A and B are shown apart, each in its own frame.
Chain A
Amino acid sequence: MDQLKKTILFNEHLNSGARMVEFGGWNMPVQYTGIVLEHMAVRQSVGLFDVSHMGEIEVYGEDSIAFLNYLCSNNVDKLTPGVAQYNLLLNERGGVIDDIIVYCLASRRFLLCVNAGNTEKVNAWIDLQAKAAVERNQSLEWRNCSGQWSQVAVQGPLSESVVISAIEQLGFTKDQTGRVEGMKSFHFAAFGEEIETPEVIVAATGYTGERGFEIFIRNKDAVVLWRLLLALVEARAGRACGLGARDTLRLEAALPLHGHELSPERSVVGSNVFWAVKTKKSDFIGKDAVLADSGSRVLVGLTVRGSGVIREGYEVALSDGKVVGEVTSGTKTPFLQKAVALAYVDREVNSAVAEQDNLSLVVRVRGRDVPVEITELPFYKVPGKIVTKG
């Protein structure tokens, strides 16, 4: 495990007795006290995650909006300072290079947050596309600043008071903490001397299906912030949470994971994030492929009937044995206490199942056929929460 990258918070995790694993080239905590306990903490009180392995890339300049609108699938030109947006970086075939969040820091200044395992590829991709844009006389600058940022996530019903108390203890003023109070989903506040170089970004985003925040902080302040947050979280019967709980939480919320539901080889058309591809906007990478594709397979939710657990890679079949799909993620999740999964199935099968009660599906589990039913997504949603999509 010596060649793996470590976040600034690595020693904090060791001191907490975390079990560490390799993830995307990083040495990360998979659990501290147990996946089930950590998952339940996020649903019932609050959980704290080190997500510093995520990458950060700055894009700015006069033509940054035009460039990002071409590079990314969503309407980047609709962003205003303090608003963030879920985006997909598509390739020419309509496959997904990465799913990212674009933060609008100022009218021509953006921060892209990219997946840990994809940071190098995305960086190379942006480099390629940006250099081509500059050749076409676009005025553009870009920089991989992943090495300067740490990131933590505070997720759960009690997350807001935890974040506000922590930043108060860091010396933030009432004006500053006021910007976090009642912050709307996918909005954020940047703090620091200069807009161009914020010290801290507090964003109402997350990957758990709960109310929560993701905080970008400069490496030099990361340990202090982590310790403040951990004390506040534990005082509210919350816990530090690792990648194990991060995965079970996002699965319940039906949030896709790149490498599972999204990949460069699979068209984005059948996924459950196709809403983030704005086919009516002017040209963007992958637009032609997406418009030409009717999406032979579509992502659905599956719930096991009876007993058994279905997992990534298992085949979905009709009762006569014909294979009609494949599971991309699945487990028995702690809050729902049900074996659920995300799977791509043939579009006609999905429609047929909706129309006919007696068309049944099974998943092959080590030689046994486990009956499953198609379930509406997400499996879990905070009661009363309106899921806003940018």
Chain B
Amino acid sequence: MSKIQNVPDGRFYTRDHEWALVSSDEEQTFTVQVGITDYAQSELGDVVFVDLPQVGTSVEKGDVLLSVESVKAVSDVYAPFSGEVIGVNEELASQPELVNSDAYDTGWMVSMSVARDRGCAQQKELLSASAYREFVSEQSK
């Protein structure tokens, strides 16, 4: 499957090639898992190090959440929502290449807790899977 087509439904996307998956839904907050898309990992090349944030870090939407080091360069990953980091993928410390081989699943990076009211508003600014597919098609022309 080409990188452009490999964009799973049921998630949100950004123009910076991040994906956000709502993984649980409470009264006041929801939990979002964040990673980078298959297209992004393919453009980056072999990932050698993922500089993950500390659990407990608060971020605003658009802040640099973490950075990904590939052999050739370093790339920033931005927070798709405002919230608090509640978990990070510790497997990436010993296996950064999971970002390349499995960007949407075992290559996940951070999970965040997002306040419901702000979160719902911010969610409207994100792209659906089909909108992201179209965006990436345009990018790679």
Whether a CB of chain A sits under 8 angstroms from the CB of B84 is: no
Q: Interface of chain A, helix or strand or loop or mixed? A: mixed
Whether a CB of chain B sits under 8 angstroms from the CB of A151 is: no
A309 touches B72 (CB 8 A): no
In the assembled complex, the CB of A241 is this many whole angstroms from the nearest CB of chain B, namely 13
B49-90: which residues lie under 8 A (CB-CB) from chain A? 49, 51, 67, 69, 71-72, 74
A248 to B93, CA, bound (A): 21
Whether a CB of chain B sits under 8 angstroms from the CB of A366 is: yes
In the assembled complex, the CB of B51 is this many whole angstroms from the nearest CB of chain A, namely 7
A366 to B67, CA, bound (A): 10
A331 touches B71 (CB 8 A): yes
Partner of B48, one of A30, A31, A244, A309: A309
- The count of A-to-B residue pairs whose CB atoms sit within 8 angstroms is 41
B48 touches A332 (CB 8 A): yes
B46 touches A311 (CB 8 A): no
Whether a CB of chain B sits under 8 angstroms from the CB of A157 is: no
A301-322: which residues lie under 8 A (CB-CB) from chain B? 307-309, 311
Size of the chain B interface, CB-CB below 8 angstroms? 12
- A: interface residue count bin: 10 to 19
Closest A residue by C-beta to B50: A307
A339 to B48, CA, bound (A): 9
B49 touches A309 (CB 8 A): yes
Q: What are the nearest 10 A-B pairs in CB distance? A: A332-B48, A36-B46, A309-B69, A35-B71, A35-B46, A309-B49, A331-B71, A34-B46, A332-B49, A35-B45
A332 touches B45 (CB 8 A): no
A332 touches B71 (CB 8 A): yes
In the assembled complex, the CB of A43 is this many whole angstroms from the nearest CB of chain B, namely 15
Whether a CB of chain B sits under 8 angstroms from the CB of A334 is: yes
A114-131: which residues lie under 8 A (CB-CB) from chain B? none
Q: Are A311 and B74 also in contact (CB < 8 A) when A34-B46, A35-B45, A332-B48 are?
A: yes
Q: Are A331 and B72 also in contact (CB < 8 A) when A34-B45, A36-B46 are?
A: yes
For B48, the chain A residues whose CB sits under 8 A away are 309, 331-332, 334, 339
Partner of A248, one of B49, B67, B71: B71
Question: What are 22 of the A-B contact pairs (CB < 8 Å)?
Answer: A31-B45, A34-B45, A34-B46, A35-B72, A36-B46, A36-B71, A244-B72, A248-B71, A307-B49, A307-B51, A307-B93, A308-B49, A309-B48, A309-B69, A309-B74, A331-B69, A331-B71, A332-B48, A332-B49, A333-B71, A339-B48, A339-B49
B45 touches A244 (CB 8 A): yes
A141 to B119, CA, bound (A): 74
In the assembled complex, the CB of A158 is this many whole angstroms from the nearest CB of chain B, namely 23
A308 to B74, CA, bound (A): 11
In the assembled complex, the CB of B70 is this many whole angstroms from the nearest CB of chain A, namely 8
A30 to B67, CA, bound (A): 23
A21-39: which residues lie under 8 A (CB-CB) from chain B? 30-31, 34-36
For B71, the chain A residues whose CB sits under 8 A away are 35-36, 244, 248, 331-334
A273-326: which residues lie under 8 A (CB-CB) from chain B? 307-309, 311
For A339, the chain B residues whose CB sits under 8 A away are 48-49
In the assembled complex, the CB of A18 is this many whole angstroms from the nearest CB of chain B, namely 13
For A31, the chain B residues whose CB sits under 8 A away are 45
For B49, the chain A residues whose CB sits under 8 A away are 307-309, 332, 339
In the assembled complex, the CB of A364 is this many whole angstroms from the nearest CB of chain B, namely 13
Known: A309-B48, A331-B69. 7 other contacts (CB 8 A): A35-B46, A35-B72, A309-B74, A331-B48, A332-B48, A333-B71, A334-B46
